Structure 1
Amino acid sequence: MDDLLCHETWLSRPLNAHDFHDDDSSNVELPLFRYSGCDYKYENEEFEWAFCVCIEKEVSLMPEPNYVHYLYSNNLIPARVRVIQWFLKCRSRLNLSFGTVFYAANYLDRFISICQCNDWKYWMVELLSITCLSTAIKFNETSAFSLHEVQMESLDHSYESNTILRMELILLQAVGWRLNTVTPYSIVETVVCYVPSSLRPNLHENIMSRVTKLLLQATLDLRMMGFRQSVVGISALWCSLEELYPAVSDAFIAYIMKLLSQSQKEDLIKCHKIMDIISTTLEDSYGHHYCSLSKSPTTVL
């Protein structure tokens, strides 16, 4: 597989035994909380424990700290934008969940940040993007799709199934087989399940629609790379609640702030300011960037 990609080692750091253990503690079933006026009354202990587990878990499931610099120095920003756009096209065509898109984006960012390849070609990014999406589909979707179906949208090259499957193994090894990651979208889904029952009839139609648009736009904004996944997700939910349910927003953010450390509170406030700007400038499209990376020879096909 090395000759398909580059001469450098894709796995640039040794993997420890704990890297291969997928912690499923974030799947703990949480109790509902109740809403009375502007005060949230949780059945506290279980919810707070599970929320904190997610926050602790996400640290080991994020790209490396120097990731944004690495993207800049290797001219990968246009390629990343194009890949995210491709994920969205596939989501629409295959009727995938938005959660699958965020899983795929997480796998993409983690892999690129871990693997120190300094001679990226676009065909390599394309192969990786197919691999990330196919892996996310297997992990998160109930319907199966062939690798041929996954590749049917806006790609410059076509790859044999065996090549993609071998690349899936490389991806799994790189991320330590930890696919049950924390994403901004998964954080929002977790919290939204426990909002006041009186809001639920309109919640998924109104709040989730707005949150999803914000998070998709935020995925393309490199300023968001400096924040934890939970901070980005809560910021998007905060902005959406401010817009649609301001009374609920005040109580919600007051409660969440109590569960965060001081540094996390400061990050949430900073992220919220950026998210608010994104919210006011949100457009239906998600950018029109094109990748300028060199293509592979036809022998790669």
Structure 2
Amino acid sequence: MESLLCDEIWLEKEEELKNDVENSCFFKSKEDCEEAFEILLDKEISYMPKIGYVKFIKENCFIENARFKAIHWLIKSQRRWNLSFGAVFGAASYLDQFISLNKCQGWKYWMFELLSIACLSVASKFHETSPPQLLELQMEGVGHLFESTMIQRMELTLLETLGWRLNSTTPYSYIELFQWSINSLKTVNDLLLRILLDAKFLEFRPCVIAQSVVTCISEDLSLLIDDSCFNNFTRLIPQDQKDDISKCQRMMINKQFLINEFQELIITSGVFNYGPPSPVTVLTMDQHDLCDIPQGDFNYISNANKRKRER
């Protein structure tokens, strides 16, 4: 009984400690906030796509469309599995970095689908304590059901391409840093997700996007910023980025268009259910070169087999 009583007291104190942590700020001072902010600023450029990526995307309608569909699937998956926003923004960052490095010229739609699954799988393992299984990730919104071994090989290719650097700095990284100071956090996150769909915002640094989103919502929705650290957000951003903030905010004036575009996409049919399926179950050497995936058999289950397995 004495041992049992001690356990009960310990568990009760542990629960109180957990609540105290959740209700308190991680950073105890303005200096701590600013130091963390500067760390994000220092490393954000190294996680951005290569220079010229936005132009490349806009000049390749096929890749632009495939990227849009992939990002939309990531957003739907985040809501379906209740993943953290860090996971979906991380996955999107991996996707853009990979495309900017590999170009993906000549890819088929199913290859982008495989890449997006691998990105979300890696991101969820990095950000979540209980990430979804590979089969679970494919239960909705994808045109093909890939074998686990094929996804794992794509994950390895992704990791090698990114240099095994997964702690990407994204616009959400800054929002997460100051999230306790934002009264309308859901509104901020929703707008960030809508902006994520539009490749043209990738020309801005993550800190610029985060600042612009908060400013736009503050002006339009009377968002209250309570934390003194976040009030100094603009002051901490490098001077050479101040003009970009104004430009980014002007682009976000049309955010109602982004909202309508986002909502229209949600009510349309699923993702990646367009274009011809892959004609083979094993990649040819040409396809292997395009994918830059380690050699071997890459089997996936067709749409028909996928429907049978789901039933």
Aligned equivalents of 2:99 and 2:68: distance in 1? 14
Find out whether 1:45 has 2:31 as its counterpart.
Answer: yes
In the alignment, which residue of structure 1 is the partner of 2:59? 73
Q: Is the 8 A contact 1:79 1:293 kept in 2?
A: no
- With over 3 angstroms needed to count, the CA separation of the structure-2 counterparts of 1:281 and 1:167, relative to structure 1, is closer
1:299 aligns with one of 281, 303, 307: 281
Aligned equivalents of 1:270 and 1:56: distance in 2? 22
Find out whether 1:155 has 2:151 as its counterpart.
Answer: no
Aligned equivalents of 1:165 and 1:275: distance in 2? 38
Matched letter for residue 61 of structure 1 = Y
1:271 aligns with one of 248, 251, 255: 248
1:252 to partner: Cα distance: 7.5
Q: Is the 8 A contact 2:207 2:237 kept in 1?
A: no
Aligned equivalents of 2:224 and 2:178: distance in 1? 17
In the alignment, which residue of structure 1 is the partner of 2:20? none
1:186 to partner: Cα distance: 1.8
- With over 3 angstroms needed to count, the CA separation of the structure-2 counterparts of 1:258 and 1:115, relative to structure 1, is same
Find out whether 1:139 has 2:126 as its counterpart.
Answer: yes
In the alignment, which residue of structure 1 is the partner of 2:104? 117
- With over 3 angstroms needed to count, the CA separation of the structure-2 counterparts of 1:120 and 1:260, relative to structure 1, is same
Aligned equivalents of 1:243 and 1:191: distance in 2? 20
- Count matched residues: 253
- With over 3 angstroms needed to count, the CA separation of the structure-2 counterparts of 1:184 and 1:286, relative to structure 1, is farther
SS in 2 for 1:282: helix
Matched letter for residue 47 of structure 1 = C
Q: For the pair shown, which has the larger CA radius of gyration, 1 or 2?
A: 2
Q: How does 1:1-301 map to 2 (within 5 A)?
A: 31-32=27-28, 43-74=29-60, 75-193=62-180, 195=181, 203=183, 207-245=184-222, 248=225, 255-279=232-256, 282-283=259-260, 285=263, 287=265, 295-300=277-282, 301=300
Aligned equivalents of 1:66 and 1:55: distance in 2? 21
Gap runs ≥5 in structure 2:
1-24, 283-299, 301-311
Aligned equivalents of 1:87 and 1:110: distance in 2? 15
1:240 to partner: Cα distance: 2.0
Which has the larger share of helix? 2
CA RMSD of aligned residues (A): 2.6
Q: Could you tell me the TM-score, scaled by structure 2's length? A: 0.73
- With over 3 angstroms needed to count, the CA separation of the structure-2 counterparts of 1:99 and 1:246, relative to structure 1, is closer
In the alignment, which residue of structure 1 is the partner of 2:5? none
Q: Deviations over 1:32-78 (max 9, x none)?
A: 4xxxxxxxxxx443322221110111000011111122223332111
Q: Is the 8 A contact 1:99 1:186 kept in 2?
A: yes
SS in 2 for 1:136: helix
**Greater CA deviation, 59-68 or 69-78?**
69-78
Q: Could you tell me the TM-score, scaled by structure 1's length? A: 0.75
Q: Deviations over 1:166-187 (max 9, x none)?
A: 1111101111111111111121
1:79 to partner: Cα distance: 0.8
- With over 3 angstroms needed to count, the CA separation of the structure-2 counterparts of 1:247 and 1:149, relative to structure 1, is closer
Matched letter for residue 106 of structure 1 = S
Aligned equivalents of 1:281 and 1:87: distance in 2? 17
